């Protein structure tokens, strides 16, 4: 897909490599610092979504979350997401259903916060920059804000997902089979864990999600402007343009390390804002390469930390 995008934008591989080298050391240092802060808040959000009886310490959670983020980012079709459940179980003794619930609620909050950010940014452009805003921006704002509200409600009642699965199983009379019976039994425990994950912690986790996504957009802004994206594009434009790229990576259709799909979303998002295909692709690729390198560094550090922390007694900590 990356090759198709390159041909479409009349860019050669040498052009792409040359554009990636335009990143300044100061921009890379600032972006890495922001990326580290994002990981730190993300780990705390996982802790907030784990009930106190099973809540691990901060350092083990940070190590597990950093290692899991590497797996989720690199492996295709988002198969690496479930690594968090394995890491928390092995390192901290967190039950699988509790780890799964924290992961599901956090991902729902991620998508809802992303939708809210893109919706608010689109509304801002529609109201305050109507002459330069793309057509249909107001409709995009309404759809995103309504979607964010629906996803937040679902995060608050994640057990509804379990109820829906159980209803489908019973509708098709699969509960009479051995596999269906086992599935229904398992979903009961997961439903309870989802209620516990959201109960009392949703406000804190939502605020942490806002901080995470503000950091993500700042991360993209630092890198993209260093790579040549016009300074006239503010944070609202960055939120919309990069939002399409992030969405393409959140969906379970991405390839290895998201190459091709993330750039496609980036070109589409910034193309709507009037950025040319060549510039959009070159900045998108440069951002992606640095993001991958930063994720690898933090992920490997997480794996190393997990090795050093292995053997410590799992304890619940506030």
Q: Quickly count: other Cβ atoms within 10 Å of residue 32's Cβ.
A: 17
Per-residue pLDDT, 317: 47
- Specify the DSSP element, H or E, that contains 303: helix 277-309
Please tell me the pTM assigned to this model: 0.85
Phi, psi angle pair for 264, to nearest 5°: -60, -45
Domain-wise residue ranges, the chain: 13-309
Cα–Cα distances (Å) from 27 to 6, 219, 228, in that order, read 25, 9, 12
Per-residue pLDDT tens listing for the chain (318 residues): 445 445 444 455 565 566 667 889 999 999 999 999 999 999 999 999 998 889 999 999 999 999 999 998 888 767 788 899 999 999 999 998 889 888 988 998 999 999 999 999 999 999 999 998 999 999 999 999 999 999 988 888 766 766 666 777 677 766 667 666 665 666 655 666 666 665 668 889 999 999 999 999 999 999 999 999 998 899 999 999 999 999 887 766 655 555 668 888 999 999 999 999 889 988 998 898 899 899 999 999 999 999 999 866 455 444
* 32/266 Cα distance (integer angstroms): 20
Q: What is the DSSP secondary-structure string of 247-261?
A: HHHHSTT--GGGTTH
Work out the number of other CB atoms within 10 angstroms of the CB of residue 4.
10
Residues in the chain: 318
Tokens found for residue 77: 């079709």
CA–CA separation, 238 and 6 (whole Å): 22
Q: How many other C-beta atoms can be found within 10 angstroms of the C-beta atom of residue 253?
A: 12
Residue 7 burial by CB count (10 A; 0-12/13-18/19+): exposed, middle or buried? exposed
């Amino acid at each position: 897909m990356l090759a198709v995008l390159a041909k479409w934008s009349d860019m050669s591989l040498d052009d792409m490599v040359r554009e990636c080298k335009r990143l300044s050391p100061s921009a890379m240092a600032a972006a890495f610092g922001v990326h580290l802060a994002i990981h730190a808040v993300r780990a705390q959000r996982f802790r907030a979504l784990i009930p106190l009886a099973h809540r691990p310490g901060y350092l083990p959670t940070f190590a597990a979350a950093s290692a899991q983020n590497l797996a989720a980012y690199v492996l295709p079709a988002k198969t690496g997401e479930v690594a968090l459940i394995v890491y928390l179980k092995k390192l901290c003794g967190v039950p699988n259903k509790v780890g799964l619930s924290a992961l599901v609620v956090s991902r729902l909050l991620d998508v809802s916060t992303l939708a809210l950010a893109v919706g608010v940014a689109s509304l801002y452009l529609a109201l305050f920059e109507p002459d330069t805003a793309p057509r249909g921006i107001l409709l995009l704002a309404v759809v995103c804000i309504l979607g964010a509200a629906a996803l937040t409600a679902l995060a608050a009642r994640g057990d509804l997902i379990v109820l829906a699965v159980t209803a489908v199983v019973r509708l098709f009379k699969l509960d009479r089979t051995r596999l269906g019976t086992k599935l229904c039994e398992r979903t009961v425990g997961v439903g309870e864990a989802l209620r516990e994950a959201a109960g009392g912690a949703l406000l804190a986790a939502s605020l942490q999600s806002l901080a995470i996504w503000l950091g993500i957009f700042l991360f993209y802004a630092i890198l993209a402007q260093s790579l040549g994206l016009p300074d006239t594009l503010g944070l609202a434009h960055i939120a919309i343009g990069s939002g399409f790229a992030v969405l393409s990576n959140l969906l379970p259709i991405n390839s290895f390390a998201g190459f091709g799909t993330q750039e496609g979303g980036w070109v589409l998002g910034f193309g709507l804002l009037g950025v040319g295909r060549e510039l959009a692709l070159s900045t998108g690729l440069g951002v992606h390469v640095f993001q991958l390198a930063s994720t690898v560094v933090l992920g490997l550090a997480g794996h190393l930390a997990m090795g050093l922390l292995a053997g410590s007694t799992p304890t619940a900590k506030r």
